[in-house]
């Protein structure tokens, strides 16, 4: 009996020593553990015991919720992996990426997070919204200057009237050809007839001499008349040619 009583006394002493940290302060005292956005950190040298537990209250989108975890290695419970660890991630309890932890209770500590005036710890700390800068007032548009009125185009001067072709000077009318001089009628030469006393055979030479003289005088006159006639024909033909060119 004494041995049993001594064993029980020793066990009670050990329990009292292990419970000493939990009895160190009230629930609203500063917590020895740290509540961070990613999880719960125990103080150095401490760890989650087998059979221990953690209770949590949190908000998601303004709605308050609560959850707890019991550490147990029996029967290979999933929570048994945290036994002997000093860190508990909130992802093992909260199934949301946007949350705020408002209250925490660890089994072997009497201090409770959230009862001592602590602010909630959120997974994402909202940054102060950047105040939009005042919009720049648009400057008054510059009124376009009146376009310069186009100057009246100079009226093109009319084309110079072409001067009429110079009238060709009429060739001077050739002077009328001199009327061909009609040769005067040859004067008949009177030849005295031979006397009857003359020898009959002598009259023939005289007659032949008259004819020969008359023939010699007629040839020059005919040549002159032909030349004058040819000149007249050429003159008339020249006038017609000039008139045809002018027409």
67 Cβ neighbours under 8 A, 6+ residues apart? 55, 56, 58, 93, 94
71 Cβ neighbours under 8 A, 6+ residues apart? 48, 49, 50, 51, 52, 53, 79, 80, 82, 83
Nearest in space to 32 (alpha carbons), one of 108, 93, 145, 83 = 108
SS3 (DSSP) at 244: helix
Outline where the chain has alpha helix (H): 2-18, 203-246
Q: What is the pTM assigned to this prediction?
A: 0.43
Q: Is 180 in contact with 221 (CB distance < 8 Å)?
A: no
Spell out the domain ranges in the chain. Answer: 17-122, 176-183+210-247
Give me 9's structure tokens.
């006394």
Q: Is 27 in contact with 55 (CB distance < 8 Å)?
A: no
* pLDDT by 10s per residue, the chain, length 247: 443 344 444 444 444 444 444 445 688 899 999 999 999 999 999 999 999 999 999 999 999 999 999 999 998 899 999 999 999 999 999 999 999 999 999 999 999 999 989 999 999 855 455 565 666 666 676 676 676 676 666 666 666 665 665 565 555 555 554 454 444 444 444 444 444 444 444 444 444 444 444 444 555 667 777 888 888 888 888 888 877 877 6
């Amino acid at each position: 009996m004494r041995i049993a009583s001594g064993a029980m006394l020793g066990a009670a002493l050990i329990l009292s020593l292990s419970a000493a940290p939990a009895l160190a302060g009230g629930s609203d005292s500063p917590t020895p553990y740290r509540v961070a956005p990613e999880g719960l950190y125990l103080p150095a040298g401490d760890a989650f015991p087998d059979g221990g537990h953690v209770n949590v209250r949190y908000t998601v989108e303004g709605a308050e919720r609560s959850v707890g975890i019991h550490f147990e290695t029996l029967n290979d419970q999933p929570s048994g992996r945290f036994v002997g660890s000093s860190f508990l991630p909130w992802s093992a309890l909260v199934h949301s990426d946007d949350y705020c932890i408002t209250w925490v209770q660890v089994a072997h500590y009497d201090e409770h997070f959230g009862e001592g005036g602590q602010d909630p710890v959120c997974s994402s700390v909202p940054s102060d919204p950047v105040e939009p800068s005042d919009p720049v007032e648009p400057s008054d548009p510059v009124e376009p200057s009146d376009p310069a009125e186009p100057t009246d185009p100079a009226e093109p001067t009319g084309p110079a009237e072409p001067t009429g072709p110079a009238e060709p000077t009429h060739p001077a009318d050739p002077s009328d050809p001199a009327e061909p001089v009609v040769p005067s009628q040859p004067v008949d030469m009177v030849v005295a007839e031979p006397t009857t006393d003359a020898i009959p055979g002598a009259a023939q030479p005289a007659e032949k001499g008259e004819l020969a003289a008359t023939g010699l005088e007629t040839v020059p006159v005919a040549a002159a008349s032909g030349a004058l006639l040819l000149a007249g024909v050429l003159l008339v033909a020249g006038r017609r040619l000039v008139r045809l060119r002018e027409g």
